[in-house]
Structure formats: structure tokens, C-alpha cells
Copies of this chain bind each other. A is one copy, B any other.
């Protein structure tokens, strides 16, 4: 299949390009390389060195024996999107080309506006370009499990049948996102659902859990082909951040009680799931939603597992609790479905400890690199709009 990846320079986009190519798909991609700038802006860098796009493309050519067509450009530039789609005529478009951080969107007015503008208009341009030049293509759009928030009922996959005052209907499941970033993804989901309805486009909307890990299956040893790994308060998600903290003997930063429960999945599972979506398109006019995660864990449990795996590997790790800079429920019911991907053949990895060992081994050589950013590992972007570094609220060496 011909697959267009928006955001091909990112944490998911770069390994996905390789994963799909290895399976025989023809991949092209676009990116404005902004992720590199955002991480620098918040005072950090990827733990795994990221090579220039030219170097990445050269390594790609050497490994796969063909060119990866890449264009640098902005999804806010409609002509850029439309012309690229028109030239390539993709069968599938994977939209990873967005600003993906909740805290970054909460820094201030400018960052909130940038996030919603960038994500909503970029996705809207993709929808219009599909309608105009490749209406048969399948959009695989990355949403987030964070769109749902933490309702006190089970979370179905996008839609649910309900009875209300004696009448029934199948309706979109209500969204209760927790940041201006997460809301931008809800806005995108809504616009995408609507475009499928009125134009007969087809889309898979992936409500993805938190991804962790450094590796995908059959990855090359060429460092130019490796993906980035962030650990700062904005772009470093729970497990990745914990592992980077552990290798430099910084306490693992659990926010609040750590009772926040989320779906998680290793990077290799994300590749497997996105590929299942790409290779099994919905029918025309269908908008389907996949909840994409391997297992649900509380942040507290994850810190404990990282602590234990570190101990086995002789790495010293403390777990500390910090006052939560976010506004979110810290203890709550959480029971999302994830049947659709299983039905398509998703085989979850399950062995989180094995994945953590690989990650920690990959990160240890970059200890000095990570240690440069020791001072920024405790969060200071707060949901109330102030900037104050969190304090330790309850020191607890995990057992």
C-alpha cells in the first residue's frame, strides 16, 4: 500500500516509516521538524541522539535499498498538503503530525492557542485535501485515550448504545479531556467523524494509550535509524521519563498519589496496532474508533515496576511523590474496552519488565547526555496557569 505519514520525524513516525517499509509498503512523509524545536524550547533534548533528516534518509536508503520521499512542510499550509496528496495518491494517511504534549499546551495563552490552531487546522486541512484529491484514501488519525478523561463508567470504543428516558440511540461517547492539547484531539475527532459522514471519507481514529520504549521489532543497529526518546516534563511520558530519571539516579517523579490510571503500550505494540489499522481499512464513509493500549496501570504501579527492574539491573532508583501540577482525579474508576484491535489480530506484548530492561540498557550509554538536564526534571508547568516547581509531598522509597 502507499502510505503517507504526517509527522514522520517524530517518536512514532520515524519507526513507523521503517516498520511499514519492511512489510513492503511504499512510504512517504512530511514533517516541519518542530518536535526538535519544542523539546529545545522547554530546555531539554532527546535521550537517544536524533540525527538530521538528511542523515536519517541516507541510513534509510542504505538499509532498505530505496528512497524515502520526504518533504519538509507545514500542515497549516493547505497547498502543501493537497499537492503532496495529489502527487502521491496515498492509500492510507497516518496523521501523527501534531503537537503531542499536554503540559506544553498549558504553559500560557500562546502555547494553548498554538496547540489548538496547529492540531485542529492541520487535521482539517488533511480532511479537505483528502476530499479534494484522494477521497478513497483511509485516514489513520492519532487521537488519545486522554480524550475520554476518567468517567465513572466503562469506556467503549468511541460510541455506545444508551437508553435515556425510555428511548435508545447509539451516540458518540462523551469526551472529558484534561488539557488544551487533549481537547485539540477531541476537536479533531469530531471534525473527522463529521467529514466521514458528509463526504464518505473513511477513517480510523486511534485513542492511543501512553507509549513507552526505545525499540521496535527487527530494528537496525544503525543509530541514525533509532527514534527519539524524551524525558522532560512536556514530552517525556510516564515510563520513558522514569527510566531516564533512574539511569541518572534522579528520583522517579510521581505526581500526587500516582493513583492516576491509564492505558499503556510499548512502542513495538504501537507499530503493530497502527499497521493493523493501515492494512485493514474501514469501508467508505465509515468512521471507526480503536482504543489502543496493552494494559492499564496506575502511575504508582509503574514507578514500582521501574524501581524493581532497576534493582535487578543494579541501578539505584528512588520513587518520590510531588504535588501534582495537573488538575486530574488521582484515584478513580478506569475500565476502557480494547476489543477492535484484538479482533484484527493485535497480540499484546505483555512483558513490561522485558521492555524496561531493553530501554534501560539503551539509555545507560546516554547517562551523561541525560544528566545535563537534571535540573528540569521536576515539573513547573501547572494547570492553574502559574509556573512553580512541584515539591516532594511524601517521600517513599518503593519496596
A48 and B121 alpha carbons, distance in the complex (Å) = 36
Measured CB to CB, the closest approach of chain B to A193, in angstroms, equals 8
Q: Which residues of chain B come closer than 8 Å to A384, judged between CB atoms?
A: 198-199
Q: Write out the residue numbers on chain B whose beta carbons fall within 8 Å of the beta carbon of A116.
A: 120-121, 124, 191
CA distance A112 to B198 in the complex (A): 14
A14 on the B face (CB < 8 A): no
Are B153 and A169 touching (Cβ within 8 A)? yes
Q: Is the beta-carbon distance between B327 and A198 smaller than 8 angstroms? A: yes
CA distance A109 to B109 in the complex (A): 26
Residues of chain A at interface, number, CB under 8 A: 50
Determine if A64 is an interface residue (Cβ-Cβ < 8 Å).
Answer: no
Is A231 an interface position by the 8 A CB rule? no
User: Does B186 contact A190, Cβ atoms closer than 8 Å?
Assistant: yes
Whether the pair B169, A194 counts as a contact (CB closer than 8 A) is no
Complex-state Cα separation, A152 to B168, whole angstroms: 7
A189-229, CB under 8 A of B: which get 1 and which 0? 01100100111000000000000000000000000000000
Given that A113-B78, A121-B116, A327-B198 are contacting pairs, would A169 and B151 also be in contact in the complex, using a CB cutoff of 8 Å? yes
Please list the residues of chain A having a beta carbon within 8 angstroms of any beta carbon in chain B. Answer: 78, 109-110, 112-113, 116-117, 120-121, 124-125, 128-129, 131-132, 151-154, 160, 162-165, 167-169, 171-178, 180, 183, 186-187, 190-191, 194, 197-199, 327, 333, 383-385
